[in-house]
Structure 1
Amino acid sequence: MDYQVLENDELKVEVLNKGAEIKSIRSKKDGTEYIWQADGKFWSRHAPILFPIVGKLKDDRYSLNDQTYPMSQHGFARDRVFSVSQQETDSLSLTLKDDVASLDIYPFSFELTIEYKLIENSLIVRYLVKNRDENKTMYFAIGAHPGFNLPLDNQTTFEDYYLEFSPKQTRKFIPVTEEVLLKTDQLSETSENKYPMTRDLFDKGVLIWETPGNTRVELKSKKTSKAVVFDYGNMPYLGLWSPYPQDAPFVCIEPWCGVADSYDSNGKYDEKLGINRLAPKDEFKSCYQMTFK
């Protein structure tokens, strides 16, 4: 079987071995499917994991120690088959390690584990990144890209929903170029914490905010009790995306530990905006929680 199942009394979750990607989160109480079902007319993925980069590199390459490496948008982990390292009825861990092919484009010995755990109507997702090298610092980014069906029921429309941040505070917003590189010279601060889901919201591409500290992001509507709620603490960026100008019936809510290149990036991986550094034999951990109402 090319996917694994975890479930409890509230939810049934299916996770693909390829990319450790969530392919379904379904309510056992009313059958609601929350995850986008990868209709290629709009977007042929469900919820890819972004590693070892988030977003796009300038010219789809980076340099490190006087060598240049190719790397396509969002990295390679989403297209690799993970192995099951732990499985219970309501929890699952999948692991990916470096191999000959990965070392050609990413010269680090790594171990990436994705842990899924169901607690009532919530799914907790944990990222564990290990630097397996004895003497070399490792650089990486990692992030989530789950797509959610919108609307969440048959009585509402896409435009009936809105995204709300809490706590209410000023956050930095980073616009992007047509090539989806960051316009860091046009960064702005916004105290807006509520964003109606309109098609025009996405006319400039993905929306990106800095989200330092504990953050809650809710996708909800005043016309239904159906909602998706994110809670996280150490994922310093959030992306929001839906294809434009198509009337795609989904939206992606994406907490990230890392971000795309700026348009004026020098291409050096160890100097990249938002890059994470791991000392030899060290380990990085991050997590977020999704609650489904």
Structure 2
Amino acid sequence: MTALLPPAPATPARAPAATPATPAAAATRRPAVGSVHSWDLSTGVDGPGTRFVTFLSGCPLTCLYCHNPDTWRMRDGKRTTADEIVTEARKYTRFIAAAGGGATVSGGEPLLQPVFTGELLHRFKHELGLHTALDTSGFLGVRATDALLRDTDLVLLDIKSWDRATYRKLTGRPLEPTLGFARRLADLGKEVHVRFVLVPGLTDDPANIEGVAAFAASLGNVTRVDVLPFHKLGEAKWQALGRPFLLHGTPCPTPGQTALARAAFTAHGLHAV
């Protein structure tokens, strides 16, 4: 809530000479530069339609199945201005609009750079007229300002497990911040697509799936659930980084197992794909 200004004095004092902005004021300005891993055009996996996707560097989670471990460290990204990203996206706006798409800010974890992420979303939406999406784990949801969320049309929210011990084993972090962010999005009426990765022997327990499904259905703003079969396409990146890929021996789920997981979400009235 904005505080009311005190009444002006009866005899105004002489205005002081203009001075440079204070450090505190300067700190509130949106930085023009962020740490960016890459950008790409994608269809069907980063939100509806064909989308311009900006992948930011840095992530507080260390998911065992991550297919982009090269995005974990912010210092490994390229310092890139918002102008550069918007200029690149502008080249494709007519094509994107015709394809019913938009722009997505992903990662890594974009809320590790919330001010830069907010600037990109604002400019994508208001300058380029694009549908906007935020792809996030929700762990840093408290960093998303109301202004950032107003400029976000859709949140792609990863709920990686309902069982708390499994979630921590999988990500290295607790689940509760994600659930709190999900409830905040529900209170705001913000459209959400939930993403759930099905990993045999890790997230495929029926009670675990049921927990995610029941929670998602309780929110009232989840319009789609993506049940994503675990894959090993990122294993080579782990090897290149000298990191052991601990899920090397884990099988990919069968089509039947994936169908059963989707059915659990559908049973709660959710649109699962």
Larger strand percent:
1
Higher relative contact order (CA 8 A, sep 6+): 1
Same fold at TM > 0.5: no
- Greater gyration radius: 2
Please state which band the TM-score falls in when normalised by the shorter chain.
under 0.3
Larger helix percent:
2
TM-score with structure 1 length normalisation? Answer: 0.25
TM-score with structure 2 length normalisation? Answer: 0.27
